[in-house]
A and B are shown apart, each in its own frame.
Chain A
Amino acid sequence: MKKTLLLTTISLMSLISFSQKKTTTSAVINFDAATPLDSLPKAVNKTVVAALNLTNGEVAFEASVKNFSFSNPMMQDHFNGENWMNSEKFPKATFKGNIKNLDKINFTKAGKYIATIEGELNIKGNVKPVSTTAQINVVGKSIATSAKFIISLADYGIELPKIAAGKVSENPSIKVTAKF
């Protein structure tokens, strides 16, 4: 009787720990809107909150818009300004989605996997469906993930002034890396 109870407890505990949502507060987003004319519009945010649910394949991240760090102060100001991200009004950018081929990924077995991800990106209050592939690298207990989104600024209500034409890409990339 005692043995059964012990076994049940152990298996329940392992189940609970397995279904736990993994989170990190140090995921990184590299934002890149550079063009051949201008290599400056690039920024990094190293304090992105990210989550990965190993059981149901839910993935999510939240980034503080103000914590994107540019090398150039003027660009950082523009990025946060009303015409661009309007970070006063929309302080965070978020993504919520799912891994579509969860059956192909074994989070408990070391190896490299490719995940198909579909979800919604919320930037400046505009929610748009997006899809991408992510690299997942399982090493021991650590899970390293990396995914890249190419977005269209116009989709999120960001209009480039004429003066920026050619200097800032209208289809910047957002590369997200997270280690769980």
Chain B
Amino acid sequence: MKKKIIIISGLLLLVIIGITYYLFSMKFDDMNDVKSDYDISAVNLMKEFQTNDSLANKRYADKILTVNGLVTDVETADSIINIKMADEQSGSYIIFSFQKNEEELLKDIIAGDTILVKGSCSGAIYSDILSAYSIAFKRCILLNNKK
């Protein structure tokens, strides 16, 4: 009886260690291998957030989106390259930050280009500094040259 308890406890401990190890060693999938939940134009995405931001946040936050639109700005700081698609009238904008190793593709992008980007949408916040909506993306990839 005692032996059984020891064996079962030992097995349980192994399972717990296994699950913990698995959870802690998990990594986000490369965006190239992730299917997108929505395909949308930058203009329509901004419209949806401006019309009803809570509804749009519910729909798009934490989802994978493929967005096509006109680049209005490429922002660089140190090793970071962010791409922006802004609505000049309202000041609201979509900003894409990228996953690692995308820099090589990004460095040729300039304002005025029309591009296709896939990434994880973090929803929008209303910026009091800019008095505009900021729709942010993380872990993005550029799809232009990969179709």
Contact = CB atoms under 8 A, between A and B. Distances in A.
B111 to A, nearest CB: 14
A135 interface: no
| Most B CB within 10 A of own CB, among A24, A40, A47, A69 | A47
Contacts of A40: 24
Contacts of A38: 24
Contacts of B130: 23, 25, 49
Contacts of B68: none
Contacts of A123: none
Interface residues of B, number: 31
Contacts, number: 90
A124 interface: no
Contacts of A66: 61-62, 122-123, 136
A172 B93 CA distance: 30
B128 A62 contact: yes
A28 B138 CA distance: 13
Contact of B27 (A26, A46, A72): A72
Interface in B25-77: 26-28, 57, 61-62, 75-77
Given A25-B130, A71-B27, A71-B28, A46 B125 contact: no
